[in-house]
Amino acid sequence: MYTRVNCEDSSAARHFLREQGVHFEEVDVDESPEALAFVMRFNEGKQRTPTFDVDGYIFHCSPFAPQKLIRELGLPPSRPAHGDQREGVVESRSSW
Protein backbone atom coordinates (compact mmCIF):
# COMPACT_ATOMS: atom_id res chain seq x y z
CA MET A 1 0.00 0.00 0.00
CA TYR A 2 1.52 3.30 -1.11
CA THR A 3 0.70 6.00 1.42
CA ARG A 4 1.53 9.40 2.85
CA VAL A 5 1.96 9.97 6.58
CA ASN A 6 -0.56 12.83 6.89
CA CYS A 7 -3.07 11.51 4.35
CA GLU A 8 -6.53 10.93 5.86
CA ASP A 9 -7.44 8.34 3.23
CA SER A 10 -4.19 6.44 3.87
CA SER A 11 -4.84 6.50 7.62
CA ALA A 12 -8.41 5.25 7.13
CA ALA A 13 -7.22 2.45 4.82
CA ARG A 14 -4.46 1.43 7.24
CA HIS A 15 -6.94 1.29 10.13
CA PHE A 16 -9.50 -0.62 8.06
CA LEU A 17 -7.00 -3.24 6.88
CA ARG A 18 -5.71 -3.80 10.40
CA GLU A 19 -9.26 -4.03 11.71
CA GLN A 20 -10.01 -6.67 9.05
CA GLY A 21 -6.83 -8.63 9.82
CA VAL A 22 -5.38 -8.06 6.35
CA HIS A 23 -1.57 -8.23 6.13
CA PHE A 24 -0.02 -5.45 4.04
CA GLU A 25 3.27 -3.73 3.39
CA GLU A 26 3.37 0.05 3.42
CA VAL A 27 5.56 2.40 1.36
CA ASP A 28 5.63 6.14 2.13
CA VAL A 29 5.74 7.94 -1.22
CA ASP A 30 7.31 10.98 0.46
CA GLU A 31 10.31 8.83 1.44
CA SER A 32 10.75 7.08 -1.92
CA PRO A 33 10.95 8.94 -5.25
CA GLU A 34 10.57 5.58 -7.03
CA ALA A 35 7.35 4.83 -5.15
CA LEU A 36 5.97 8.31 -5.93
CA ALA A 37 6.78 7.82 -9.63
CA PHE A 38 5.01 4.44 -9.52
CA VAL A 39 1.88 5.96 -7.94
CA MET A 40 1.81 8.80 -10.46
CA ARG A 41 2.31 6.45 -13.42
CA PHE A 42 -0.81 4.45 -12.48
CA ASN A 43 -2.95 7.44 -11.46
CA GLU A 44 -2.80 9.63 -14.56
CA GLY A 45 0.00 11.77 -13.11
CA LYS A 46 -1.78 12.30 -9.79
CA GLN A 47 -0.33 11.57 -6.35
CA ARG A 48 -3.34 9.54 -5.17
CA THR A 49 -2.88 7.72 -1.89
CA PRO A 50 -3.51 5.12 -0.87
CA THR A 51 -2.62 3.23 -4.03
CA PHE A 52 -2.47 -0.55 -3.92
CA ASP A 53 -0.49 -3.17 -5.81
CA VAL A 54 -1.98 -6.58 -5.16
CA ASP A 55 -0.03 -9.15 -7.14
CA GLY A 56 0.21 -6.72 -10.07
CA TYR A 57 -3.38 -5.47 -9.82
CA ILE A 58 -3.02 -1.75 -9.15
CA PHE A 59 -5.74 0.61 -7.95
CA HIS A 60 -6.20 3.59 -5.65
CA CYS A 61 -8.68 4.15 -2.87
CA SER A 62 -8.91 7.90 -2.72
CA PRO A 63 -11.31 8.89 -1.43
CA PHE A 64 -11.32 6.02 1.04
CA ALA A 65 -14.27 3.66 0.57
CA PRO A 66 -14.49 0.52 2.72
CA GLN A 67 -16.92 -1.21 0.32
CA LYS A 68 -14.45 -0.74 -2.53
CA LEU A 69 -11.70 -2.28 -0.42
CA ILE A 70 -13.90 -5.23 0.50
CA ARG A 71 -14.73 -5.74 -3.17
CA GLU A 72 -11.16 -5.28 -4.48
CA LEU A 73 -9.60 -7.54 -1.85
CA GLY A 74 -12.31 -10.16 -2.11
CA LEU A 75 -13.03 -9.92 1.61
CA PRO A 76 -16.16 -11.74 2.77
CA PRO A 77 -19.15 -9.38 2.89
CA SER A 78 -19.95 -10.73 6.34
CA ARG A 79 -16.94 -8.92 7.79
CA PRO A 80 -17.98 -5.77 9.62
CA ALA A 81 -17.58 -2.66 7.49
CA HIS A 82 -15.67 0.39 8.70
CA GLY A 83 -17.89 3.22 9.95
CA ASP A 84 -16.86 5.55 7.12
CA GLN A 85 -19.50 5.70 4.38
CA ARG A 86 -17.12 6.66 1.58
CA GLU A 87 -15.72 3.96 -0.77
CA GLY A 88 -12.74 1.49 -0.40
CA VAL A 89 -9.07 0.30 -0.43
CA VAL A 90 -6.71 -2.71 -0.97
CA GLU A 91 -3.45 -4.34 0.14
CA SER A 92 -0.13 -3.91 -1.62
CA ARG A 93 3.31 -5.30 -1.93
CA SER A 94 6.56 -3.57 -2.86
CA SER A 95 10.26 -4.06 -2.61
CA TRP A 96 11.38 -0.45 -2.78
Residue 91 falls inside a structural domain? no
Contacts of 22 (CB under 8 A, 6+ apart): 73, 75, 91
What are 10-41's pLDDT values in tens digits? 999 999 999 999 999 999 999 999 999 999 99
> What mean pLDDT is reported for the chain?
85
Residue 95 has pLDDT above 80, yes or no: no
The enclosing domain of 18 has a CATH number of: 3.40.30.10
Number of Cβ atoms within 10 Å of the Cβ of 90: 27
Q: How confident is the model at residue 96 (pLDDT cuts 50, 70, 90)?
A: very low
Residue 90 falls inside a structural domain? no
Q: What is the DSSP letter of 49?
A: S
